[in-house]
A and B are shown apart, each in its own frame.
Chain A
């Protein structure tokens, strides 16, 4: 077989050469190659072929006429199909530029569509209940504006007032279910009997709850979530009416919910039982606000009318029980609002950011197309002079825009499929409906819309420029000074890109600063090598409080015996654990004060080594000790905030306080420890009190904290096993290291930071590319002028500075506008910021520095080229 030309060279050739000319050009090259073979041998012929390929690449191929001579008759030339074909041919003449424009737009479309898909699922999807716009949560409003749960009596009275079509109250429930071998703790809810009716949900099997089941003692019935039914009960359709073991006692299964049911009011809930509220209990008071209330407003009642009706009802309650309702009123939160309010700020900020990216992509594409348009001005002028109608020319330009839109939409959709996965992977827990995010028809429609708008917007400016050139035809042709004036539009586009990039880089910098400051916050406790897990005891054998005490004691003993464990403790709640237990503090000697005015503190009932295990520093006095047991004098340790707030004179130690209601014992303050965060690094510090769990009274659910001297991950399995062996039947849940919990508490900001950084990077690259393009074009056009300057003795340095200055003027303009716009729009990301302001000098410096740096890089090559212009060649060429 005879030798062949280099395959790579052939491929490069067919990529580079314009379509209609490709065939015979490559044919000629092949033929010549065979001639060379005979003359110079294989190596010589191949070297020659590469040389020719190189020439092809360095040659500036003229753009062929859009209306080529072999087009058929005039009539069909008017059809849009021909315009499309002409547009395709014309774009094909500049494959690299077309690819760049399509890629730029596709990047913007892909990013926008990805973020939009996530945001749409999380923010814009209506809750999956019939007439979900009628559903709202009902809160009592504190005097400080905060929302609070309601008491049972309040719920009953509000229901009786007839303000709502229907309503239900609910409370959290953490039942354990057991199948004999394994005990699992679940998220559950106890709800009043109409709960499922209020939501409009019909069980898939069986029924919901009956009024007579919503009573103390009669409420041992459950409704299962579809997931629990299939995972734990093998989708057994005969389960309705049978008993299952919940908390060690038999509960009858009343129904199974459909797979479409989504527990938006209490995410993750898998089991429901009737509330069966016992109004004779001490915590059934009106101020005991521990129930969440959901209601369906009446048909045809607007949100405003519902608010008024609720206020009126509340005022009637207040008139009847003036002592019990000290708050400001009641608030209705629409269900949709309730679901999205946690993540909305972050997602809206990201939507805004990705919108900016799309805008920059659009500017950049417009810039590229405008650059080409300026090179085609002469061609269009000729065309008009030869009689081509403006309509015909415009239709070709529109066709080019459409072709670009279709290509960009296709590529952008592909990018979006990838992008959505990236966003979902990065997204923190707590973004609603992350599992439902995917690129569907709506998302594709969205991508197509964005593609059409951006592509046409990017094509319009160049089209106007060209058509105007066509009209003014001969006058303008060859008038260089005017052409370079036209670069002002490109300059404005570039300055616009810089301004938009500044906004994104500022956002990223502000978030970076926030995350850094957040991570620098001292939580007040050690996170390294600390393991936490929630334990719960259930079933009849733990009805006796002595059994509970004994069980907890054996857990501690067993865990501390595990090799590598330094210390272990149990606590009623731990920082970052998700529980917030607050109690009123009533100091001794304040008998005149009402309990409603007591300041609230986080209350931790803990075993003796808790503070040591968590690494909370002792400030003064003593920590809790093993000797602080049930019979000994009650003692309490305060955090510094509580000590200084309650005893500004510094006399805390030795003073006494009651914790909780009037029947609670009075505790003597024996020590003061450091403040710790509770809900997250960015949350306010609260007063905290630590009481010995022995003295507080046993709780059947506690959190175990373990400090290990060996890496905590390797000890997790052994510790869990030790706990199970010590207390068979204990349910273990939420096993996590404090490290991990700390990570989760900053996850939303790090998510926003990751995306913002990506967007800012893309923005910088696009802005730099735009700047580079404009500067290069002006250098090429000013070659003659630069040649004259050099010939007249201008030093190369000055030429260099001239181009760099032009770049800096554009960058500076963009920077100024961008910083101004940033300053005006930080509200969008305000909720994500922590410890930094929009005018933070460090942030401004970082933004300005990075922009100027990138701009200098982008100007370097054009400036260097300008400084290398040989005056002899420049002047001879013209």
Chain B
């Protein structure tokens, strides 16, 4: 059943780790945009989060409503242990695969 994580799923999980307690939709999107320079739409972030939630890799909690959000609550995400494991596995695979290729890919 385990086919590993998709690339965007990895990015979202990494964003969760970077953001810590403040990880919710807009923040996650901003984080990915800033770090990767990609143009990311919120729908893509949400569907990925829903998928991660479905797979049991992230947990959620609802925050407090703010006037800026029209009185709507935020939904915060944090990675579960299973999520960290999955991420580690994927990154490990990536690292193994890139070993020795650094000069060819012109990575720093």
Q: Is B69 an interface residue (CB 8 A)?
A: yes
| Docked-complex contact B44 and A55, CB < 8 angstroms | yes
> Across the two chains, which residue of chain B brings its CB closest to A5?
B70
| Docked-complex contact B72 and A30, CB < 8 angstroms | yes
The binding surface of chain A is classed by DSSP as helix
Of B65, B70, B74, most buried by chain A (CB within 10 Å of CB) is B70
Give complex CA distance A228, B108 in Å.
104
| Docked-complex contact B43 and A59, CB < 8 angstroms | yes
Give complex CA distance A59, B41 in Å.
11
> Across the two chains, which residue of chain A brings its CB closest to B27?
A28
Known A-B contacts A28-B25, A55-B44, A59-B43; A21 and B50 likewise in contact (beta carbons under 8 Å) = yes
Residues of B with C-beta under 8 A to A23: 72-73
Q: Is B26 an interface residue (CB 8 A)?
A: yes
| Docked-complex contact B50 and A27, CB < 8 angstroms | no
| Docked-complex contact B43 and A52, CB < 8 angstroms | yes
Known A-B contacts A31-B26, A55-B42; A24 and B50 likewise in contact (beta carbons under 8 Å) = no
Task: Specify which of B24, B29, B41, B51 is in contact with A24 (CB 8 Å cutoff).
Answer: B24
Task: Specify which of A24, A26, A31 is in contact with B68 (CB 8 Å cutoff).
Answer: A31
> What class of interface size applies to chain B in its complex with A?
20 to 34
Residues of B with C-beta under 8 A to A56: 42-43
Q: How far is the CB of A241 from chain B (nearest CB, A)?
A: 79
- Scan B19-42; emit 1 where CB is below 8 A from any A CB, else 0: 000001110010000000000011
Q: How far is the CB of A7 from chain B (nearest CB, A)?
A: 12
Q: Is A861 an interface residue (CB 8 A)?
A: no
Give complex CA distance A29, B68 in Å.
10
Known A-B contacts A31-B26, A32-B26, A32-B29; A24 and B43 likewise in contact (beta carbons under 8 Å) = no
Give complex CA distance A230, B1 in Å.
83
Give complex CA distance A62, B66 in Å.
28
Q: Is A521 an interface residue (CB 8 A)?
A: no
Known A-B contacts A31-B26, A59-B47, A62-B54; A26 and B42 likewise in contact (beta carbons under 8 Å) = no
Q: Is A338 an interface residue (CB 8 A)?
A: no
- Scan B39-71; emit 1 where CB is below 8 A from any A CB, else 0: 001111011001100100000001001101110
| Docked-complex contact B69 and A28, CB < 8 angstroms | yes
Give complex CA distance A62, B68 in Å.
28
Residues of A with C-beta under 8 A to B75: 24
Give complex CA distance A25, B29 in Å.
12
Give complex CA distance A65, B54 in Å.
8
| Docked-complex contact B41 and A51, CB < 8 angstroms | yes
| Docked-complex contact A28 and B24, CB < 8 angstroms | yes
Known A-B contacts A23-B72, A34-B68; A28 and B42 likewise in contact (beta carbons under 8 Å) = yes
- Scan A500-539; emit 1 where CB is below 8 A from any B CB, else 0: 0000000000000000000000000000000000000000
Q: Is A80 an interface residue (CB 8 A)?
A: no
Q: Is A283 an interface residue (CB 8 A)?
A: no
Give complex CA distance A64, B50 in Å.
8
| Docked-complex contact B74 and A26, CB < 8 angstroms | no
Known A-B contacts A61-B47, A62-B47; A24 and B42 likewise in contact (beta carbons under 8 Å) = no
Residues of A with C-beta under 8 A to B69: 27-28, 30-31
Give complex CA distance A28, B41 in Å.
12
Give complex CA distance A31, B44 in Å.
17
Give complex CA distance A846, B72 in Å.
58
Give complex CA distance A56, B50 in Å.
14
> Across the two chains, which residue of chain B brings its CB closest to A34?
B68
> Across the two chains, which residue of chain A brings its CB closest to B63?
A24
| Docked-complex contact A29 and B42, CB < 8 angstroms | yes
The residues in B between 59 and 108 inclusive whose CB is less than 8 angstroms from any CB of A are: 62, 65-66, 68-70, 72-75
Q: How far is the CB of B25 from chain A (nearest CB, A)?
A: 4
Of B46, B68, B73, B74, most buried by chain A (CB within 10 Å of CB) is B46
| Docked-complex contact B47 and A24, CB < 8 angstroms | no
Residues of A with C-beta under 8 A to B66: 31
Task: Specify which of A24, A34, A35, A64 is in contact with B74 (CB 8 Å cutoff).
Answer: A24
Residues of B with C-beta under 8 A to A60: 47
Give complex CA distance A308, B29 in Å.
92
Known A-B contacts A62-B50, A64-B50; A25 and B68 likewise in contact (beta carbons under 8 Å) = no
Residues of A with C-beta under 8 A to B29: 32
> Across the two chains, which residue of chain A brings its CB closest to B50?
A62
Count of A interface residues, CB-CB < 8 Å: 24
| Docked-complex contact A30 and B50, CB < 8 angstroms | no
Q: How far is the CB of A391 from chain B (nearest CB, A)?
A: 24
Q: How far is the CB of A176 from chain B (nearest CB, A)?
A: 76
| Docked-complex contact B54 and A24, CB < 8 angstroms | no
Residues of B with C-beta under 8 A to A26: 70, 72
Give complex CA distance A27, B73 in Å.
7
Residues of A with C-beta under 8 A to B47: 59-62
Give complex CA distance A773, B73 in Å.
38
| Docked-complex contact A55 and B41, CB < 8 angstroms | yes
Give complex CA distance A64, B51 in Å.
9
Residues of B with C-beta under 8 A to A31: 26, 66, 68-69
| Docked-complex contact A28 and B26, CB < 8 angstroms | yes
| Docked-complex contact A55 and B70, CB < 8 angstroms | no
Residues of A with C-beta under 8 A to B72: 23-24, 26-27, 30
Give complex CA distance A58, B73 in Å.
25
The residues in A between 26 and 81 inclusive whose CB is less than 8 angstroms from any CB of B are: 26-32, 34-35, 51-52, 55-56, 58-62, 64-65
Q: How far is the CB of B34 from chain A (nearest CB, A)?
A: 13
| Docked-complex contact A27 and B46, CB < 8 angstroms | no
| Docked-complex contact A30 and B70, CB < 8 angstroms | yes
Q: How far is the CB of B7 from chain A (nearest CB, A)?
A: 14
Give complex CA distance A397, B75 in Å.
30
Residues of A with C-beta under 8 A to B73: 23-24, 27
Give complex CA distance A118, B24 in Å.
59
> Across the two chains, which residue of chain B brings its CB closest to A10?
B70
Give complex CA distance A640, B75 in Å.
92
Give complex CA distance A51, B39 in Å.
12
Give complex CA distance A28, B70 in Å.
10
| Docked-complex contact A32 and B42, CB < 8 angstroms | yes
Q: How far is the CB of B55 from chain A (nearest CB, A)?
A: 11
Task: Specify which of B24, B51, B70, B74 is in contact with A62 (CB 8 Å cutoff).
Answer: B51
Give complex CA distance A119, B51 in Å.
54
Of A55, A64, A65, most buried by chain B (CB within 10 Å of CB) is A55
Give complex CA distance A30, B68 in Å.
7
Q: How far is the CB of A52 from chain B (nearest CB, A)?
A: 6
Give complex CA distance A29, B25 in Å.
9
Give complex CA distance A21, B75 in Å.
9
Residues of B with C-beta under 8 A to A59: 43-44, 46-47
Q: How far is the CB of B45 from chain A (nearest CB, A)?
A: 9
Give complex CA distance A27, B29 in Å.
14
Give complex CA distance A61, B73 in Å.
20
> Across the two chains, which residue of chain B brings its CB closest to A385?
B1
The residues in A between 726 and 740 inclusive whose CB is less than 8 angstroms from any CB of B are: none
Give complex CA distance A36, B46 in Å.
19
Give complex CA distance A65, B41 in Å.
24
Residues of A with C-beta under 8 A to B51: 62
Q: How far is the CB of A466 from chain B (nearest CB, A)?
A: 18
> Across the two chains, which residue of chain B brings its CB closest to A379?
B54
Give complex CA distance A56, B51 in Å.
15
Give complex CA distance A493, B77 in Å.
44
Q: How far is the CB of A445 from chain B (nearest CB, A)?
A: 43
| Docked-complex contact B42 and A52, CB < 8 angstroms | yes
Q: How far is the CB of B76 from chain A (nearest CB, A)?
A: 9
Taking A21-B50, A30-B72 as known contacts, 16 extra A-B pairs with beta carbons closer than 8 A to each other, sorted by chain A number, are A24-B72, A24-B75, A25-B46, A28-B26, A30-B68, A31-B26, A32-B29, A52-B43, A55-B43, A55-B44, A56-B43, A59-B47, A61-B47, A61-B50, A62-B50, A65-B54
**What are 26 A-B pairs at a CB distance below 8 A?**
A21-B50, A23-B72, A23-B73, A24-B24, A24-B25, A24-B73, A24-B75, A27-B70, A27-B74, A28-B24, A28-B26, A30-B72, A31-B26, A31-B68, A32-B29, A32-B42, A34-B68, A52-B41, A52-B42, A52-B43, A55-B41, A56-B43, A58-B43, A60-B47, A61-B50, A62-B47
The residues of A with any CB-CB pair to B shorter than 8 Å are 21, 23-32, 34-35, 51-52, 55-56, 58-62, 64-65
Closest 4 CB pairs of A and B: A27-B72, A28-B25, A27-B69, A24-B75
